[in-house]
């Protein structure tokens, strides 16, 4: 980051004092995840996620290329997360070496790519010769905290929404059918990981050991920008609807005990379930709108009518 937003002592003192008295500036409870707004663009795999004032856009693109030599049966999948001054002047252009930027892209990478959310074997066309390369382009538009959570939702919603052109293979020759000619095929999504970020505050400013008596630490979910600037510890857990913990990331900050971690995971699961359902529902609604005619033609529809 180039420069930081200047925050006065009065402001930080007040925000902490308010947290102590159970208030958050934006009128949420500590365990409340911001409402997620999902909007699909004109093209397939084009999603805009809004969480409060945070806005993240994700667009999927695909191309046919050669697979890696040591992985002939797998396709390629990239996630590009680069921040620009658009999200706020604190981000520098073309310089994503700041601690926060690196952490954001690492967490998303681990949550989505390395957890195998996308079936990359399904992207193979001719083993060792040709495969699909899928690229998720994440654009950070407006930053009010929670970039990790929002971009994870954006990437997953975009992947679920995207359909790649259908292909036919004739020996060495591959024919790519334009979308007007043949119905495009959706990607193989194996599970939907959702990231939930917890922020920790220690308003008493006393170092507490694991079995500390008067534990006054405060845990909040989905911090906004001001809260993110003041927090003393952060934990991101990634879960899916199958109650699997995909990732736990805690890079330094306040120490926490195992019970708190368990508690956080439980809280995160409820949100994960809600958000996953919301994404799937939004995809369903959007597909229906796009497929007005195919619904008319399908036999399933006819049975329903009778």
Q: Could you say whether residue 304 binds other proteins (CB under 8 A)? A: no
SS3 assignment, position 274? helix
Alpha carbon distance 124, 138 (integer Å): 24
Please pick, from the candidates 46, 149, 227, 228, the single residue that binds other proteins as defined by CB under 8 A: 46
- Is there binding between residue 113 and other proteins (CB under 8 A)? no
Region label for 167, one of left (φ > 0), alpha (ψ between -120 and 50) or beta (otherwise): beta
Total site size for other proteins, rule CB under 8 A: 47
Contact between 10 and other proteins by CB under 8 A: the answer reads yes
User: Taking CB under 8 A as the rule, does residue 190 contact other proteins?
Assistant: no
As measured in angstroms, the least distance from the Cβ of 134 to other proteins is 11
59 binding other proteins? (CB under 8 A): yes
Give the Cα separation of 276 and 300 in Å (integer). Answer: 26
Contact between 299 and other proteins per CB under 8 A: no
| Residues 6+ positions from 141 with CB-CB distance below 8 Å | 48, 55, 56, 57, 86, 87
Query: Minimum distance from CB of 93 to other proteins (Å)?
Result: 5
Judged by CB under 8 A, the stretch of 3-11, 109-117, 169-177, 290-298 that binds other proteins is: 3-11
Provide CB contacts within 8 A for 118, sequence distance 6+.
77, 112, 134, 159, 187, 188, 189, 190
Least Å distance, CB 115 to other proteins, is 23
Could you tell me which residues come within 8 angstroms of residue 275 by beta carbon, excluding any fewer than 6 positions away? 33, 36, 153, 194
Q: Is 18 in the site for other proteins (CB under 8 A)?
A: yes
Q: Considering only residues 33, 56, 57, 162, which one is a binding residue for other proteins as defined by CB under 8 A?
A: 57
> CB–CB of 239/246 below 8 Å?
yes
Under the criterion CB under 8 A, does residue 21 sit at the interface with other proteins?
Answer: yes
Please tell me the number of Cα atoms within 13 Å of 277 on its side-chain side: 6
CB of 253 to other proteins, least distance (A): 21
| Per-residue binder mask for other proteins (CB under 8 A), 60-99, x = binder | -x------------------x-x-xxxxxxx--xx-----
Closest residue by Cα to residue 53 from 155, 145, 140: 145
Site map (CB under 8 A) of other proteins, residues 128-157, x = contact: -------x-x-x-xxxx-------------
Dist CA 168 CA 171 (whole Å) = 10
Query: Per CB under 8 A, does 2 bind other proteins?
Result: yes
| Beta strand pairing call for 130-142 and 54-65 | antiparallel
Site string (238-267) toward other proteins, x via CB under 8 A: ------------------------------
**Residue 301 CB-half CA count within 13 A:** 9
Interaction of residue 166 with other proteins, rule CB under 8 A = no
Question: Using the rule CB under 8 A, is 281 a contact of other proteins?
Answer: no
The yes or no reply on residue 22 touching other proteins (CB under 8 A) is yes
Strands 76-82 and 130-142: parallel
The nearest distance, CB 137 to other proteins, in angstroms, is 5
- Assign residue 209 a region (left: φ > 0; alpha: ψ between -120 and 50; beta: otherwise): beta
64, 176 Cβ separation under 8 angstroms: yes
What is the contact surface with other proteins in residues (CB under 8 A)? 2-14, 17-18, 21-23, 25, 27, 41-43, 46, 53, 55, 57, 59, 61, 80, 82, 84-90, 93-94, 135, 137, 139, 141-144
């Amino acid at each position: 980051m180039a420069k930081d937003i200047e925050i006065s002592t009065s402001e930080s003192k007040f925000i902490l004092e308010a947290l102590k008295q159970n208030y958050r500036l934006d009128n949420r409870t500590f365990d409340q995840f911001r409402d997620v707004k999902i909007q699909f663009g004109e093209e397939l795999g084009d999603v805009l996620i809004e969480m409060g004032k945070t806005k993240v856009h994700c667009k999927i693109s695909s191309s046919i290329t050669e697979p890696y030599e040591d992985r002939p049966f797998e396709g390629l999948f990239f996630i590009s997360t680069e921040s620009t001054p658009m999200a706020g002047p604190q981000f520098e252009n073309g310089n994503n070496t700041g601690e926060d930027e690196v952490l954001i892209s690492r967490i998303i990478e681990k949550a989505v790519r390395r957890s195998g959310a996308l079936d990359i074997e399904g992207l193979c066309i001719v083993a060792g010769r040709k495969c699909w390369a899928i690229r998720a382009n994440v654009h950070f538009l407006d930053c009010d905290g929670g970039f990790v959570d929002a971009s994870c939702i954006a990437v997953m919603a975009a992947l679920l929404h995207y359909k790649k052109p259908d292909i036919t293979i004739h020996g060495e020759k591959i024919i790519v059918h334009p979308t007007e000619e043949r119905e495009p095929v959706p990607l193989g999504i194996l599970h939907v990981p959702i990231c939930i970020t917890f922020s920790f505050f220690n308003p008493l400013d006393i170092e507490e050991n694991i079995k500390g008596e008067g534990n006054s630490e405060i845990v909040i979910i989905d911090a906004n920008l001001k809260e993110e600037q003041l927090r003393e510890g952060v934990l991101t857990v990634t879960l899916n609807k199958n109650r699997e913990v995909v990732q736990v990331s805690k890079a330094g900050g306040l120490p926490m005990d195992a019970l708190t971690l368990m508690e956080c995971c439980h809280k995160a699961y409820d949100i994960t379930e809600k958000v996953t359902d919301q994404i799937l529902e939004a995809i369903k609604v959007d597909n229906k709108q796009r497929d007005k005619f195919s619904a008319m033609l399908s036999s399933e529809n006819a049975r329903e009518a009778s």
